[in-house]
């Protein structure tokens, strides 16, 4: 009945009574927005003049709507209008790189497929922002501080109500999320493997000549490359996909590696010389997966993104992230982990290594899908036991310069 009281008060204001009181119902006020929606609905149903002169039909309909929670939520969702009558857009936060934009537009496309009302002009707004990781390209991610470099600004915008949802490459998302946010949605996953791209057409790592220069900013890739051929030289390779491919064409490096998923999303998969299987290059945790984050109390956004969630992808990503969390991995520790659902079971493979590839520890496990998080966590704990405390202590104590010295010696 308290809510009914708010609606009645607003009805009086709407009809010209208590004009000053109306100012309390700003756009930031949930009650104000809901009341406006009710008033517009009533105008359409019984007409403005009837609304002016008749209180009983108004209150009867309001009471029905309030009593039938699902009904009025449907109305709110269908009529989410601002005071000026324009559509309140669903604001998608994203980085501005070509790959990030491709992922944001893919999200938009899927939203419109599921909710045709979002096809209306202005119903979806894409908000582009730069992150620290985008702005500083002359240093490795490890030197900049590791995880969160591509998400902090998006988190801030989300919590500040500047955007409604954020679209992420899941491998960039830390295992912890800011309080007040959730990440309940993963879109169907692309191929998770790494693309191997060379200037001379060589298709496998083992066929690279000794001393070849490989451009990559990933310690995971560097460690696995050096474990196969310690003579290879790995150099920091930052920038978007197009920038990296241009450096390869210019002869700065002999080869590079990129996620084939990103190339496919930009229709650039033909740039790949070969696609490496797990035995040659185990991919990063959550590679190839897109995640969508929103505020935990934002029912409207939750409704939209819940409808897009691919459960198989979500289960595998949760398994991999549990593995990473158990290892408490940082950007100085080369870590790889991948899960697949095969014949109704979840199959997981994980790896940790020294940055120079001199030590490598692997694990593989299979289990029930419902135990995905447990499987990932136990795999991480197993590798911690295999490697021993000394391994992880070295990773913590090493400065970025020492790590880089190991892999470029």
Three-class SS state of 388: helix
Exposed/middle/buried for 228, CB within 10 Å: 0-12, 13-18, 19+? Answer: middle
What is the rounded distance in angstroms from the CA atom of residue 93 to the CA atom of residue 164? 7
- Confirm if 87 and 123 have CB atoms less than 8 A apart: yes
DSSP single-letter state for residue 140: -
In the DSSP assignment, the letter for residue 219 is H
Q: Is there a contact between 166 and 100 (Cβ–Cβ < 8 Å)? A: no
Q: Which residues are catalytic?
A: 172
Strand pairing category for 255-259 and 194-198: antiparallel
Question: For the chain, what is the total number of helices (H) and then of strands (E)?
Answer: 16, 13
- Give the contacts of 6 (CB within 8 A, at least 6 positions apart): 31, 35
Residue pair 384/326 in contact (Cβ under 8 Å)? The answer is yes
Q: Please tell me the number of Cα atoms within 13 Å of 61 on its side-chain side.
A: 17
Cα separation of 246 and 215, whole Å?
12
The SS3 assignment for 167 reads strand
Task: Report the Cα 336 to chain-centroid distance in Å.
Answer: 18
**Which of the 8 DSSP states describes residue 226?**
H
């Amino acid at each position: 009945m308290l809510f009914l009281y708010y609606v009645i008060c607003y009805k009086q204001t709407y009809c010209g009574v208590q004009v000053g009181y109306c100012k309390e119902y700003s756009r930031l006020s949930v009650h104000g927005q809901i009341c406006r929606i009710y008033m517009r609905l009533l105008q359409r149903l019984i007409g403005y003049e009837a609304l002016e002169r008749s209180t009983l039909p108004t209150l009867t309909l309001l009471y029905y709507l309030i009593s039938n929670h699902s009904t009025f939520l449907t109305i709110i969702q269908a009529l989410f209008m601002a005071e000026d009558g324009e559509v309140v857009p669903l604001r998608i936060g994203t980085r501005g790189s070509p790959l990030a934009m491709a992922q944001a537009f893919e999200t938009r496309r899927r939203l419109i497929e599921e909710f045709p009302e979002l096809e209306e002009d202005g119903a979806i707004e894409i908000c582009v922002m730069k992150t620290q990781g985008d702005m500083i390209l002359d240093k490795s991610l490890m030197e900049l501080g590791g995880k969160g470099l591509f998400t902090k600004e998006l988190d801030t915008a989300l919590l500040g109500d500047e955007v409604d949802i954020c679209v992420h490459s899941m491998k960039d998302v830390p295992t912890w999320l800011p309080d007040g946010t959730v990440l309940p949605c993963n879109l169907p996953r692309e191929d998770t493997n790494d693309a191997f791209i060379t200037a001379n057409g060589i298709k496998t790592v083992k066929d690279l000549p000794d001393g070849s220069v490989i451009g990559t900013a990933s310690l995971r890739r560097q460690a696995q490359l050096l474990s196969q051929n310690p003579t290879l030289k790995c150099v920091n390779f930052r920038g978007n996909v197009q920038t990296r491919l241009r450096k390869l064409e210019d002869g700065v490096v002999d080869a590079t590696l990129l996620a084939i998923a990103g190339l496919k999303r930009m229709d650039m998969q033909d740039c790949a010389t070969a696609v490496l299987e797990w035995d040659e290059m185990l991919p990063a945790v959550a590679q190839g997966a897109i995640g969508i984050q929103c505020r935990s109390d934002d029912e409207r956004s939750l409704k939209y993104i819940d409808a897009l969630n691919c459960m198989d992808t979500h289960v595998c990503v949760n398994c991999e992230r549990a593995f990473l969390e158990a290892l408490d991995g940082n950007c100085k520790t080369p870590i790889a982990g991948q899960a697949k659902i095969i014949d109704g079971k979840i199959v997981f493979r994980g790896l940790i290594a020294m940055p120079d590839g001199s030590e490598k520890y692997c694990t593989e496990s299979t289990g029930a899908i419902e135990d995905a998080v447990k499987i990932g966590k136990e795999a991480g704990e197993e590798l911690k036991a295999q490697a021993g405390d000394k391994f992880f202590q070295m990773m913590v104590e090493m400065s970025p310069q020492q790590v880089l010295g190991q892999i470029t010696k």
